[in-house]
Amino acid sequence: MSTFQAPKGTYDLIPPRSAVFLAVRDTISGQVRNAGYGYVETPGFEDVNLFARGVGESTDIVTKEMYTLTTKGGDQLALRPEGTASVLRAALQANLHKQGNLPVKLWYSGSYYRYERAQAGRYRHFSQVGAEAIGAEDPALDAELIILADQAYRALGLRQYRILLNSLGDKECRPVYREALQTFLRGLDLDEETLRRAEINPLRVLDDKRADVQKQLVDAPLLRDYLCDACKAYHEQVRELITAAGVVFEDDLKLVRGLDYYTRTTFEFVHDGLGSQSAVGGGGRYDGLSEMIGGPALPSVGWALGVDRTVLALEAEGVTLDLPAPTSVFAVALGEEARRVLFGKVTELRRAGIASDFSFGGKGLKGSMKDANRSGARLTLVAGERDLAEGVVQLKDMESGEQRAVALDEVLDAVRAQLA
């Protein structure tokens, strides 16, 4: 074993489990690609102020969880703790909003970093697939993203998740609610840090998971009672559109999510099989974020779905994904001439798009056939000196055990026919 281990709170993805993570990413991204979202990739680190302004100075992410560093040139950087601020920054820098065809629809996938207390389902390094629709204020866009996430989870075979939905109001009605909530919170028995957070962003206190805090929040004023007519109408349209699409959701009047930039629509996908870390994904509308980071007014909406959490949810439900074997054909060569010939055949099969592998290391027939079994290959090509003298190789079906001789120049056609 190596002297070095993966840092605490992180993990390595290795086969065969890594294939499940790839399949989850592909399934989620397939839904958004099918809806016109283009791929964007941003750096793993950004200017620390991008997150301080965008994510919010009152959030745990900014105050406690960001990995920050100072470069040799004195720049203050942070490993990205979430994806939205980076994607919006990239879109603004490239002036995508000036090229017409709003909204700009983008999807992304990558690793994100937060210094958290490591536990099952909550890591310091985690993987997400996200989607953002930038530059349009339309309840149909909010509904589209919720429906696409729901389709992705259903395509994976998940069934035991719930969708929580709320509205956080806008710059017209939220200040009135904010004041009412702050007045309420000042009368509670809260610790100094929580009271400080309440002065910066009181909605964040509603998201506090501590039982002694939640007990005191039972009679807290509800944002629903303070929504302006425009926000009420907008939210009702979102609810109607996703209901018409057959998506089942629950109204959660205290759902605020963990980031300061959300406005109006906010939603979360939770799975009760994951214990306390029940959220598998979520998102919402963030109409003011562009201006927060120095851009023009660009109403936007998006979500991020946790790949790690989704895999845990699949395991909790006992769902096994139907993953194709990584190898279709495995070649076993007995002797130097057979190695040369079969290695050429493996290259030919790969060029034809057939997943193929080769028995490396000169293990002999018994060891090589063990490798063939471990590879999951459907077919095995075996050749020795006698086979080559006759101009053939042996093609073995690993499922039935049947074996037949195939002429060297007919290997590709024979493999295609048998795999079909």
53 touches 83 (CB < 8 A): no
**Model pTM score:** 0.89
Distance CA 207, CA 252 (A): 12
- Looking at residue 130, the DSSP 8-state letter turns out to be E
Classified as helix, coil or strand, 32 is helix
CA angle 66/70/75 to nearest 5° reads 105
12-26 burial by CB neighbour count: b if 16+ within 10 A, else e? eeeeeeebbeebbbe
Query: In the numeric block, which tokens belong to residue 419?
Result: 């795999």
Helices (H), 34-171: 48-54, 60, 84-93, 139-156
Question: Which residue ranges make up each domain of the chain?
Answer: 17-173+227-317, 329-419
- Looking at residue 412, the DSSP 8-state letter turns out to be H
Predicted pLDDT of residue 174: 84
236 touches 135 (CB < 8 A): no
Cα 283 to chain centroid, rounded: 12
338 touches 385 (CB < 8 A): yes
Q: Do 17-173+227-317 and 329-419 come out as alike in CATH topology? A: no
Strands 250-251 and 161-167: parallel
Helices (H), 109-190: 139-156, 174-186
- Looking at residue 364, the DSSP 8-state letter turns out to be H
| Residue-level pLDDT, tens digit, the chain, 420 residues | 678 999 988 989 999 899 999 999 999 999 999 999 999 999 999 999 998 886 766 566 666 788 999 999 999 999 999 999 999 999 999 999 999 889 999 999 999 999 877 776 678 999 999 999 999 999 999 999 999 999 999 999 999 999 999 999 998 888 888 889 888 988 888 888 888 888 877 887 887 778 888 888 888 888 889 999 999 999 999 999 999 999 999 999 888 775 667 889 999 999 988 877 789 999 999 998 999 899 999 999 999 999 999 999 999 999 999 998 889 999 999 999 999 999 999 999 999 999 999 999 888 899 999 999 999 999 999 999 999 999 999 999 999 999 999 999 999 999 999 998
Q: Give yes or no for a cis peptide into 103 (omega within 30° of 0).
A: yes
Distance CA 70, CA 314 (A): 39
Query: In the numeric block, which tokens belong to residue 32?
Result: 């958004």
Predicted pLDDT of residue 206: 81
CATH architecture assigned to 17-173+227-317: 2-Layer Sandwich (3.30)
Alpha carbons within 13 A on the beta-carbon side of 169: 19
Q: Which residues pair with 69 in a beta bridge?
A: 77
Alpha carbons within 13 A on the beta-carbon side of 15: 6
Predicted pLDDT of residue 136: 96
Query: In the numeric block, which tokens belong to residue 130?
Result: 């996200």
329-419 CATH = 3.40.50.800
In order of 146, 204, 208, 333, 405, the CA distances from 163 in angstroms are: 9, 20, 20, 55, 57
